[in-house]
Amino acid sequence: MTPIEFLGLYPFQWLAIITAGTAFFLMIDALVGHYRRAFAYRMQYAPVVTGTALVVAALLAAGFPDLPLLNQLLSWAGWLAAATGLVGFAYHFYYGIVTKPGGLKWILHYLMYGAPIFAPLGLTAAGVLGIITAHGLAGEHAVFGLVMPIALFLFVAIALAGAIAQAGILHYRGAFNNPAMYAPLTVPSLAMIAGVWMALAPSTVARAAFAVLLWMTLLVGFIGFGMHLRGLDREMGGLYLWHVNLLEGPPQGAPGLFIAWAAIGLVGMYLL
C-alpha cells in the first residue's frame, strides 16, 4: 500500500481537509439550527466551539503533516468533537423529544420538528475521521484494529447511514415535494451497501460498484447544494427574505455531508 499523491497532497492530507470541510458544514448547520432556537441552552454553543476547533486543527494538520504536535492536536480535537456529538445526540433526544409536550408518544412529530436527532452524530463522525486522519498522518497503517482502507470504507458506510437517516426524516417532512428528494436516500444507500461489501469481501466487482456509487453520491451532494438553494428560493420571499428562509428552508450545508463521505471513500479507494 503506497500512498499516492494527488494535486500535490498525500491522501491523509486530503482526509484532513475533508475533515475540516465536514466539521465546517456541521458547525454552520449547528449555528443556524441553534440560533433558530435562540441558544436557549448554553450547551448549544458546544458544537460551534468544538466544530471550529476541529476545523482549525484539521487544517493545521493538513498544512504541516510532519509536525507531531499538530497531529496530536487533531487527534484531541477529534476526540472532543466526537464526544460533543455523542452528548449532543443525548441532548437532542432528551430535550428535543422526551421532555417536549407529548414526549415519546409524539416521536414522529419531534423527529421532524424537534432537534435533528442524527445531526450531532455527524459531528461525532467528523471527530472520528479526525482521529483516523491523525493516525494516518502519523504513518500508521491501521486504526481501531483495522487496516486503513477497510477502516475508511466501514466509516463511510456508517457515516452514510446517519446522513441518509437524517435526510430521510427531513425529506419526509418536506413530503418529497420534488422527486429529486429521493436521490439522497437511494444512491447513498447502495453506496453504503457496496462499502460494507468492499470492507468485508473486497473484489473487483465490489470495487467497481463502490466506485461508481461513490461518484454518484458525490454528484448527489453537489446537485443537493443547488436544490437546497432552489428550495430556499421557493420559500415565501425567497432570497429576499434569506434571513428567515435560511432558518426555515432546506439546511444549506447538509448536502455537503454526502460529498464529504463519498470523497473519503474515493480517497480510500484511489489514493491509499
Contact positions toward other proteins, by CB under 8 A?
Answer: 36-38, 100-103, 105-106, 108-109, 112-113, 172-175, 177, 231, 234-237, 240-241, 244, 247-248
In the complex, what is the shortest distance from the CB of residue 112 to other proteins, in angstroms, rounded to a whole number?
6
Nearer to other proteins, 205 or 236 (CB): 236
- CA nearest 82: which of 50, 56, 57, 34? 50
Smallest separation (angstroms) from other proteins to the CB of 231: 7
Nearest CA-CA partner of 168 in 266, 77, 48, 258: 258
d(CA 261, CA 3): 19
147, β-bridge pairs: 142
**Angle subtended at Cα 113 by Cα 107 and Cα 30, rounded to the nearest 5 degrees:** 120
Please count the CA atoms within 13 angstroms of the CA of 210 that sit on its side-chain side: 34
Closest to other proteins by CB, 101 or 179:
101
Q: How far apart are CA 84 and CA 145, in angstroms?
A: 24
Residue 113 CB, nearest approach to other proteins (Å): 4
CB of 244 to other proteins, least distance (A): 6
Query: Positive or negative CA dihedral for 202, 203, 209, 215?
Result: positive
- Closest contact distance (angstroms) between CB of 220 and other proteins is 20
- Specify the residue, 107 or 150, whose C-beta has the smaller distance to other proteins: 107
In the bound state with other proteins, the residue whose beta carbon lies nearer, of 99 and 203, is 99
Residue with smaller CB distance to other proteins, 7 or 105 = 105
Phi, psi at 143, each rounded to 5°: -145, 140
CB of 232 to other proteins, least distance (A): 10
Of the two residues 76 and 172, which places its CB atom closer to other proteins in the complex? 172
